[in-house]
Structure 1
Amino acid sequence: MKIHPLITTSEALADLCERLSKADFVCVDTEFMRENTYWPELCLIQIADSEEAAAIDPLAKGLDMTPLMNLLVDNEDVLKIFHAGGQDVEIIYNITGKTPHPIFDTQIAMMAVSQSEQIGYSNLVESWLGLQIDKGARFTDWSRRPLTERQIEYAIGDVTHLAKIFPKLLQRLIKTGRGVWLNIEMEKLADPAGYRNDPDLSWHRIKAAGRNPAMLGRLKALAHWRELEAQDKNIPRGRIARDETVADIASHPPKTQADLAKVRGLSAAWKDNEIGRRMIAALDNAKPLPDDELPARTPRGAPLGKEGALVADLLKLLLKIRSREIDVASRLLARSEDLELLAAGVRELSMLQGWRFDVFGKDALDLVEGKMAFAVVNGKLKMTHVDDVAEDEAAAE
């Protein structure tokens, strides 16, 4: 594979993107800094197909990134490969307002061919290529210039290795027929809605108990205010106020600005500074959350009780057994909370639809309905249909 020198000119980038636009796929990775800012600062982009690879310096003076962004978000003929690509996709969305498409994430794909829930990149490379990655440059300051040869070599390795792994992983998916399992997961990763920093929706990320409209209205107002403050100052939202502090104030609103000095998580200065005044103004203007914005009630069946809890435990055991039997990550088949809902009588669940029903949901439902039983076969715990057990016993008599 040809490795290009660090790309710092618009001409070199345009030439690279022209060639890559004819590839079947490109592997993409980014290096960025976001510890002290609201918006992640893009410091390096690495890209490769099966024949060439390059690192691109987005901080280079005068560099026109348009050809690269067009390749990533507008060219539907080229598949974009990432590993744990959520933050990479977020950065591209922040720049273009669009997400890469079509998209393929090797971390997600590994859940369909192994029991790995969130395999790290170094473990992926070791598993597929037998190589040990030098992690020395992992926590480097990517914003500092000039970049060293070691930094660039480390960064480009993230895409050159991926370019070798992807075809092997794709063949495994084709051989097992599990590629279709991943369609929904990949589309979810590419959904622009997941990357919008909409202040009106920012309250959804804060954990708050209950569905009280007045409290949730205050939470929405505070979260909206905090998001705008953080964006304006370009600092992490937690530097304005932590989630727990925002939730606490929404639940127990102070009557005056002076009361902010008593709030855990805020300094005494908030009782008379400008940011404290803006917070109180946000609270004063808060309105109860309308019914159509209230969080949906979690589907509930009958209370689990002791017996239901035991059934839920059996379902979790079945999930572990099935995950081991077919070598797939259990999280791809079902979530723990959905197993509890199934035990409680809920039937509108993703595990009871499509391929998940065929692979796991049907047996899970049979277990709840008393049609499945545990058995030890050759020293291994397995699930067996009760009717099959009865037929085997009858045949043995």
Structure 2
Amino acid sequence: MHDHGLIDTEAALRLFLDAIRDSPWIAVDTEFMREKTYFPQLCLIQMATTDHIACIDPLAFEDLGPLKTLLHDPAVLKVFHAASQDLEVLYLETGQVPSPVFDTQVAASLLGHGEQVGYANLVQAVLQHELDKTQSRTDWSRRPLTAEQLQYARDDVRYLVQLFIALQSELEALGRMTWLQPEMDALTRPELYQADLEGAWRRVSGHKRLKPRELAVLRELAAWRETQARDLDRPRRWIISDDALLLIARTRPTKIAALREMRGLPKGIGDSQTRQILEAVQKGSEAPQETWPAPSRRRPLAEAEEVIVDVGMALLRELARQQQISPEAVASRKDVVALMRGEDDAALTRGWRRQVAGAELGRWLRGHSALRCDGGRIGLLDLAAAAGNGHTTP
């Protein structure tokens, strides 16, 4: 594999892109910082094929135009591990979500490695290589980058190349590549990476404990915080904490003095910001009832239903085990509840999830099959077939 080193000039970038021009896929990773900012700061882009590898310094370029062309080329597959954060930072940098993509974390979940297996653990499991992670918390914005940082960065795509080849081969052998495509299409939807002021209240921890009118106030407060964080390029929690937002939404203060006395309000908050908070409280308080955010309308499960879902989860694990796939990749407990309730959009009624587990679980829930224990394993007995053979259900 030819190492192009750290690319920080347009000439070097053109040479690398020319070298990989005919590759149908490329492994991609990014290093970024966002601990002190709202927007992630892209600090390094690593790319590799089977024959070439490079670290590209985006801080050295005013325009990454040629690189954008590659990232958005529909004929070139972009390979990531745990792609969502990389896709977000590249979307913000280039204005488009890279596509098409292959996420080795998702692919691994379809092969029994767990739903959110980490990169180092997956490299160890598949390639029997232990990665050095000592640089994982390094400051990628500082220049010059050290030799240790660059080695760490290169390894993140060097072994990603090998992972992709191994996982793709195994998926193809099992006929599961078609399972992967809907998951990848979902990852590249632009709306996933766009700011949502109206829905910001849903990210406030503890919002489910509020009443509908309080949620209307929280909606305005969370939208204000999101705007402030974005405009100042600061983390949301630096503007005001979730706990403080919840308290304000519950108490709905109308005076600056009352607001300033509240626990959790940031020290040194200015008069302008306090007035804006009070305006948000007033707007939310006066919102017509029909516009209030709707809390979850799902009724709690009855005790008997909880038992059914518990058994359904056990069956899900067994059906997934038979297919050598992680049960978490197939469905969550909420998905089993949705199937039990007959919801039209239940994930287990569609695609490969139905094939792996949804169809069998559905038959059991409708009373067409029965639970049995055979040789220390649970399974399902088809009642119609059993009746036809003259068997009785134990």
Which deviates more, 288-297 or 237-246?
Answer: 288-297
- Which residue of structure 1 aligns with residue 20 of structure 2? 20
Query: Which string of whole-angstrom CA distances, capped at 9 and with x for unpartnered residues, describes residues 49-80 of structure 1?
Result: 111000011122x453111122112x111000
1:325 maps to which of 322, 325, 340: 322
Counting aligned pairs with the same residue, the percent is 35
SS of residue matched to 2:6: coil
- Which residue of structure 1 aligns with residue 109 of structure 2? 111
TM-aligned CA deviation for residue 268 of structure 1: 6.2
Question: Could you tell me which amino acid in structure 2 is paired with residue 343 of structure 1?
Answer: M
Mapped to 2, the partners of 1:392 and 1:119 lie a distance apart of 45
Q: Is the 8 A contact 2:8 2:57 kept in 1?
A: yes
Query: Which string of whole-angstrom CA distances, capped at 9 and with x for unpartnered residues, describes residues 73-117 of structure 1?
Result: 2x1110000000111111111112210000111101111111411
For structure 1, list consecutive stretches of 5 or more residues without a partner in the other structure: none
Q: Is the 8 A contact 1:371 1:387 kept in 2?
A: yes
For structure 2, list consecutive stretches of 5 or more residues without a partner in the other structure: none
Aligned Cα root-mean-square deviation (Å): 2.5
SS of residue matched to 1:197: coil
Which deviates more, 367-376 or 23-32?
Answer: 367-376
SS of residue matched to 1:117: coil
Does structure 1 residue 98 correspond to structure 2 residue 96?
yes
With normalisation by structure 1, the TM-score equals 0.90
TM-aligned CA deviation for residue 358 of structure 1: 2.4
Mapped to 2, the partners of 1:347 and 1:307 lie a distance apart of 22
Mapped to 2, the partners of 1:348 and 1:91 lie a distance apart of 31
Query: Which string of whole-angstrom CA distances, capped at 9 and with x for unpartnered residues, describes residues 139-188 of structure 1?
Result: 11111111111110110111111111212211111111111112221111
SS of residue matched to 2:58: coil
1:181 maps to which of 176, 179, 195: 179
TM-aligned CA deviation for residue 22 of structure 1: 2.3
Mapped to 1, the partners of 2:17 and 2:102 lie a distance apart of 19
Question: Could you tell me which amino acid in structure 1 is paired with residue 51 of structure 2?
Answer: E
Mapped to 2, the partners of 1:282 and 1:351 lie a distance apart of 41
Mapped to 1, the partners of 2:292 and 2:177 lie a distance apart of 36
- Which residue of structure 1 aligns with residue 53 of structure 2? 53
Mapped to 1, the partners of 2:23 and 2:289 lie a distance apart of 50
Which deviates more, 99-108 or 139-148?
Answer: 139-148
Map 1:89-168 → 2, pairs under 5 A: 89-168=87-166
Map 1:1-397 → 2, pairs under 5 A: 1-60=1-60, 62=61, 64-73=63-72, 75-207=73-205, 208-209=207-208, 214-267=213-266, 269-270=268-269, 273-286=271-284, 288=287, 291=290, 294-295=293-294, 298=297, 304-346=301-343, 348-389=345-386, 394=391
Query: Which string of whole-angstrom CA distances, capped at 9 and with x for unpartnered residues, describes residues 245-301 of structure 1?
Result: 22332233112121123433214655x73322221123234452785784586566x
SS of residue matched to 2:102: strand
SS of residue matched to 1:147: coil
Query: Which string of whole-angstrom CA distances, capped at 9 and with x for unpartnered residues, describes residues 17-56 of structure 1?
Result: 2333321101110111111111111111101111100001
Q: Is the 8 A contact 1:115 1:330 kept in 2?
A: no
Query: Which string of whole-angstrom CA distances, capped at 9 and with x for unpartnered residues, describes residues 324-351 of structure 1?
Result: 1111121232220121233345454120
Q: Is the 8 A contact 1:299 1:346 kept in 2?
A: no
With normalisation by structure 2, the TM-score equals 0.91
Mapped to 2, the partners of 1:179 and 1:172 lie a distance apart of 9
Q: Is the 8 A contact 1:9 1:63 kept in 2?
A: no
Which deviates more, 280-289 or 319-328?
Answer: 280-289
